[in-house]
Amino acid sequence: MTPQDKNWHSFVEAAIKVDKIADIDWDHETDVLVVGLGGAGVACALQSLELGSSVIAVDKFEGGGATKASGGVIYAGGGTQIQKEAGVKDTPKNMFNYLKLEVGDIVSDACLKDFCDRSADTIDWMIGHNVDMRPTLWPHKTSFPGPTYFLYHSDNTLIPNYKAKAKPAARGHRGYAPFEQSKKATNLGGAFYHPLKASAVANGMTFMDYSEARQIVLDSKCKVIGLHVLQFDDPEQKENYIKLRNKAHNLMMKFPPIIPGSKFILKRAIKMLKKASKLEEGRKSIYIRAKKGVLLSSGGFVFNSKMLGHYAPKYMRAYPLGTDGDNGSGIRLGQTAGGAIGNMDRMTAWRFINPPLSFAKGLIVNQKGERFINEMVYGATLGVEMVENQDGEAWLILDKPLLKQALEDVSGDKALDFQRQLAQLNARFGTKKGKTIKALAEKIKVPADVLEAQITKYNTHGEDGSDPHHKTTDDIARIGSPPYIAINIGLSAKLFPCPALTLGGLKVDEKTGSVLNEKGKPVKGLYAAGRNAIGIASWNYLSGLSIADGIYSGRRAARSMGK
């Protein structure tokens, strides 16, 4: 695909080709040029500096990207110092055995093994650069632990059929944040990003914020030698641009989609963003030469609705997770240099229903009334199954005692604010009720006989431990006290947004991080990391795995460029 294709859907332009380096009047020169300073970008920058290379990093916005906006979790194991302090036993082999179940064949066993072998060192490296991690352990299944817990099971390791293949070990390492701040699950990734960025700056990194990479520059042998970048020339124009964007984002944060009237607020925010975009027209062109290589690390494409509709239309109804920097530009830049893409239709959708634990003790059925999964699984496992194989539709079935217990589960300080609010909102305003199972089935438009049979089977599984989905008897609540209740947890659920992010990207050499062309050969001078590239987190998502993959792949590229 090229910029001339009708489905390009990007401002990225065709590469500039020159006969010799001197044909460009370069404004800046560096060894390593990083495009997108999020988790992967800052890891590459810092590792490159440690290896003696000079670094310039450019970012279309302020930097941090989805890493900074995230819940601040990195997936790590194999015996990290945090695991050891918490008394969690783990080995690289055990970590590999588990991740193989989730990662599948998206990367080779050799690559996955290398990721696991380096995991404990990754945590040591981050802590060495002032990232604060703490060993307070939450040992139970949850989507996100309370504000005083910084190590937890951010995956499926506690599910019986997974436990049969690998010993459970808590691998979700949260960056430390103060109590009040930790009560949220977003904008906590600064616990990783800010210390790493500060260390990179202290070691000599030049950071150009609000600078958009628009074109790759190639030499006569199609080697990547630099970038054409658009940058604000007028400080006042840049300041106005930042103010408009901040106002728009603050509005969207205060009025998420589940709040009545949020559509009007969203329209207002979009107008502000469009006004900000008009200011981009006054930017100047600069050219940056990269002597050792260019790293593409500017995120996925979930905030590019046209690109999303082209590659992954099943997920169009999901709630985009990330930042507006996730517009696919890094992937498109790589393509203009000859890079090949893959896995572009693969996404992760997050349908977390625990807490409250009582929600997960109910049963989930599709629009045919059939149960299709262990309700205790990690939210991304549930979400992807729902989208890929159930047409994005699902209902959570409870009864009166279970709903009452669910509200008790999230009362007081038993859950984080967002978990409590979401559960209460759906328990009180998002339910369909029926005095009989048949009456409920009619309301949610599923076959009554099928739903009745599924509930009967479910209750039996809870008594004799025969659940085909490997749910333990302790996790199965008997559904038998009317009214019977259904909560819409499908993509169309207005009160239960389902976040999603993209996992596909540029194909890379698993040993070096070099971008590969359609023939499987490296594009000289070009590397990709994080969600710009296919990597460890590109098949199934686990909390913290994307950041872990970003740090891993960013450092891998730095080592390759440093040789």
DSSP assignment string, 269-312: HHHHHHHHHHHGGGPEEEEEEEEEEEEE----STT-HHHHHHH-
| CA-wise closest residue to 394 among 409, 407, 384 | 384
* Contact by Cβ (8 Å): 357, 419: no
Chain-centroid distance of CA 533 in Å reads: 13
For residue 508, what is the DSSP state?
B
- Token readout for 519 is 């023939």
Q: Where are the beta strands (DSSP E) in 93-210?
A: 137-141, 151-153, 172-174, 206-208
* Contact by Cβ (8 Å): 509, 522: yes
Helices 190-202, 39-50: axis angle to 10 degrees equals: 30
Does the CA dihedral 286-49-119-139 come out positive or negative?
Answer: negative
Type and span of the H or E element at 216? strand 211-218
State phi, psi for 173 to the nearest 5 degrees.
Answer: -95, 115
Helix extents (H) in 350-475: 357-360, 379-389, 400-409, 417-429, 437-444, 448-464
State phi, psi for 110 to the nearest 5 degrees.
Answer: -65, -40
pLDDT at 241: 96
Q: How far apart are the first and last CA of the chain?
A: 32
pLDDT at 180: 78
User: What residues have CB less than 8 Å from 6, skipping those under 6 apart?
Assistant: none
User: What residues have CB less than 8 Å from 243, skipping those under 6 apart?
Assistant: none
pTM, full prediction: 0.94
The total of other beta-carbon atoms located within 10 Å of residue 394's CB is 26
* Contact by Cβ (8 Å): 142, 354: yes
pLDDT at 415: 85
pLDDT (tens, 9 = 90+) of the chain, 563 residues, equals 899 999 999 999 999 999 999 999 999 999 999 999 999 999 999 999 999 999 999 999 999 999 999 999 999 999 999 999 999 999 999 999 999 999 999 999 999 999 999 999 999 999 999 999 999 999 998 889 989 999 999 999 999 999 999 999 999 999 999 977 877 778 899 999 999 999 999 999 999 999 999 999 999 999 999 999 999 999 999 999 999 999 998 888 887 777 777 788 888 998 999 999 999 998 999 999 999 999 999 999 999 999 999 999 999 999 999 999 999 999 999 999 999 999 999 999 999 999 999 999 999 999 999 999 999 999 999 999 999 999 999 999 999 999 999 999 999 888 888 899 899 999 999 999 999 999 999 999 999 999 999 999 999 999 999 999 999 999 999 999 999 999 999 999 989 999 999 999 999 999 999 999 999 999 999 999 999 999 999 999 999 999 999 999 999 999 999 98
Domain 351-488 = CATH 3.90.700.10: yes
Chain-centroid distance of CA 505 in Å reads: 13
CA distance 491 to 512: 38
Q: Is the peptide bond before 139 cis (omega within 30 degrees of 0)?
A: no
Type and span of the H or E element at 364? strand 363-365
CA distance 531 to 535: 8
pLDDT at 187: 87
β-strand pairing of 172-174 with 73-75:
antiparallel
Q: Where are the beta strands (DSSP E) in 109-170?
A: 137-141, 151-153
Q: Which CATH class is domain 16-70+189-233+283-348+499-561?
A: alpha beta
CA distance 447 to 90: 46
Q: Where are the beta strands (DSSP E) in 297-358?
A: 319-320, 341-342, 347-349
Q: Where are the domains of the chain?
A: 16-70+189-233+283-348+499-561, 73-182, 236-281, 351-488
CA distance 247 to 232: 19
Phi-psi region of 214 (alpha: psi -120 to 50; beta: other; left: phi over 0): alpha
* Contact by Cβ (8 Å): 9, 328: yes
